[in-house]
Chains A and B, each alone.
Chain A
Amino acid sequence: MAKIIVITSGKGGVGKTTSTAALGAGLALRGKKTVVIDFDVGLRNLDMVMGCERRVVFDFINVIQGDAKLNQALIKDRRLDNLSILPTSQTRDKDALTREGVEKVIDELRNEFDYILCDSPAGIERGAHLAMYFADEAVVVTNPEVSSVRDSDRVLGLLSSKTRRAEKGEGPVKPHLLLTRYDPDRVARGDMMKVEDILEILSIPLLGIVPESPTVLSASNVGTPVVLNESSNAGMAYADAVSRLMGEQIEMRVLGPERRSLLQRLLWRAV
């Protein structure tokens, strides 16, 4: 039976989709059969970040409404055999999602995959609610700033009350904190919140700290999950997070932002 994990945050722009792509690719790299589902109906992004936007024919909504079979909508990743993507519709909106429809799709995927990652839309409305409803675990993506932390706190409250596990009394959805866009220099200067302060407020276990890094943006733009870039700090941080998600105990390392090499710095000055 697959483990269902929702990647959520409440706040927009904190890196949910990037993190979904990275964690999904990371799990597939480690040999786990993984599917990532885009719940952000109307704002299709996950397929772009995964680099398969040109291969989308049928989508999640088509499957929910019975217009296509699940296997027709699932896109197999070209780089990783174990990874599949279920893209969403760009022309519909979140009202096209129904609880029964989502349940049917997830039940079907459950038998086939080890991990189902649900990429939640921002906000706490219908799309976000259905993305978290069937989850066993949750990765709460948070930036080190107050509004993101508060929104994450709100989402944690919803996870403990508005999910199937909560409603059926099957125990809580297991939360993980993924800190993204973390810049140790700005934390030292007091511009960003410290890890300890965030953990103190949210009081959930830390899955990883992903440093602010230009490789994240460029990886999204070319459609390659950042975890596939093994030399980047952000890629390493996501790889660590994947290991922890699989239950391994590894030491938390706070990686700084990527430094320019000496040569690059000299050239920078010359420019």
Chain B
Amino acid sequence: MTNSQRADVNGHKHRTAVAPFQVRGRFFTAIVLQMTRGPDAEFFQAVDALVAQTPHFFSDAPFVLDLDRTNAIGASIDFIGLTRELRKRKVMLIGVQNGTIEQNRAALTAGLITLPGGYDTPPDANKKREGAPKEDKGPQEPPSGALLVTDPVRSGQRIFADTGDLVVVASVSSGAELIARGNIHVYGRMRGRALAGVNGDSTARIFCQSLEAELIAIAGLYKTSDTIESSFRNQRVQAFLEDGTLRIRSLK
């Protein structure tokens, strides 16, 4: 107990100097193995065959076991042995999903985590990208389309431009949230929150006609209204990342 107290005090002191860590959200792609049977010899043979096919593709990639189809065999799976066997083959198992309560408990004891949700990548997406010529597709949809918003963005509303830039030609109320993969432009009063470059694009910028924002963030680095210099209030500004810090400049 005294230890933990001391740690708290120390931690607090250090926070003013150099933070021991920074918290960031980051997306990773995991490979899911959907098991159709228990981990028997045949299972490992199939894994060997898969790894032999593309040895580099799977090395160091995080693997998740989908137990959906093995719910019937219950917690009889030896997760510790399974993890060890897979590691020998450079298949790094990190967790399980869709298991029964007993299976999840057994997996947790073996040091694995249980993961909810997730989306499938279309299995042929990679093949298309690799070599297939695009000639028969005609003019392709540009991957980065801007989203234009002409109505006021009200408190509690969240607008997500997942394809690129977000352009708002009305006011953004406090309590509203703008999120974009690319840049954010606001031509009304900007009183809400703006998060640009949410997929990690550190070249994204935020442009405001009148900055009164509660929070602005680019690629995870943020400033709140308290830390935005008051000289920028109600000014035409841009915000961008420079040397790993979020900077605000007037647009003159």
A binds B: yes
A150 at the interface (CB under 8 A from B): yes
* A201 with B151: CB separation less than 8 A: no
Tell me the bound Cα distance from A30 to B222 in angstroms.
55
Chain A contact residues: helix, strand, loop or mixed = helix
Taking the closest CB of chain A, its distance from the CB of B148, in whole angstroms, is 16
Listed residue (B154, B157, B170, B191) with the most chain A CB atoms within 10 angstroms of its CB: B154
What are the 3 tightest A-B residue pairs by CB atom distance, in nearest-first order? A157-B154, A153-B155, A154-B156
Give A140 Cβ to nearest chain B Cβ, in Å.
Answer: 11
Interface string of A203-229 (1 = CB under 8 A from B): 100000000000000000000000000
Stretch binding the partner chain, chosen from B10-18, B22-30, B171-179: B171-179
A154 engages B152 (CB within 8 Å)? no
1/0 per residue, CB under 8 A from A, across B141-168: the answer is 0000000000111111100000000000
Per-residue contact bits, chain A 14-40, to B (CB 8 Å; 1 contact, 0 not): 000000000000000000000000000
- The smallest beta-carbon distance between B225 and chain A, in angstroms, is 14
Q: Tell me the minimal C-beta distance from A172 to chain B in angstroms.
A: 8
CA–CA, A256 to B2, complex, Å? 63
User: Which listed residue, A154, A161, A203, touches B155 by the CB 8 Å rule?
Assistant: A154
A160 interfacial by beta-carbon distance below 8 Å: yes
Q: Which of B152, B174, B176, B189 has the most CB of A within 10 A?
A: B152
Contacts of A151 in B (CB 8 A): 155
Q: Is A193 an interface residue (CB 8 A)?
A: no
Given that A201-B173, A203-B171 are known contacts, is A150 also in contact with B155, CB under 8 Å in the complex?
A: yes
Is A75's beta carbon under 8 Å from chain B? no
- The smallest beta-carbon distance between B244 and chain A, in angstroms, is 34
Q: How far is the CB of A132 from chain B (nearest CB, A)?
A: 14
Question: Is there an interface contact between B155 and A157, defined as CB atoms closer than 8 Å?
Answer: yes
Shortest CB-to-CB span from B215 to chain A, Å, is 16
Contacts of A63 in B (CB 8 A): none
Could you say which interface size class chain A belongs to? 10 to 19
Query: 29 interchain pairs (CB within 8 A)?
Result: A150-B173, A150-B175, A151-B155, A153-B154, A153-B156, A153-B173, A153-B174, A153-B175, A154-B154, A154-B155, A154-B156, A154-B175, A156-B152, A157-B153, A157-B154, A157-B156, A157-B157, A157-B176, A158-B156, A160-B151, A160-B154, A161-B157, A200-B189, A201-B171, A201-B173, A201-B191, A203-B152, A203-B170, A203-B171
In this complex, how many residues of chain B approach chain A with their Cβ under 8 Å: the count is 15
Interface residues of A in 139-179 (CB under 8 A from B): 150-151, 153-154, 156-158, 160-161
Max count, chain A CB within 10 A of own CB: residue among B170, B171, B191: B171
CB nearest neighbor in A for B153 = A157
Give Cα A241 to B152, complex, Å.
25
* Contact between chains at A150 and B174 (CB < 8 Å): yes
Query: For chain B residues 170-208, which have a beta carbon within 8 Å of chain A?
Result: 170-171, 173-176, 189, 191
Which residues of chain B come closer than 8 Å to A156, judged between CB atoms?
A: 152, 154
| A160→B157 CA distance, assembly (Å) | 10
Cα–Cα distance between A200 and B189 once the two chains are bound (Å): 9
Residue in B155, B189, B191 whose Cβ sees the most chain A Cβ within 10 Å: B155
User: In the docked arrangement, what's the CA distance between A161 and B159, Å?
Assistant: 12
Enumerate chain B residues within 8 angstroms of A203, measured Cβ to Cβ: 152, 170-171
In the complex, residue of chain B having the shortest beta-carbon distance to the beta carbon of A204: B152
Query: Beyond the given A153-B175, A157-B153, could you list 11 further A-B residue pairs with CB under 8 A, ordered by the A residue number?
Result: A150-B155, A150-B174, A153-B155, A153-B173, A154-B156, A154-B175, A160-B151, A161-B157, A201-B171, A201-B173, A201-B191
Chain A residues near B154 (CB-CB < 8 A)? 153-154, 156-157, 160
A157 to B156, CA, bound (A): 7
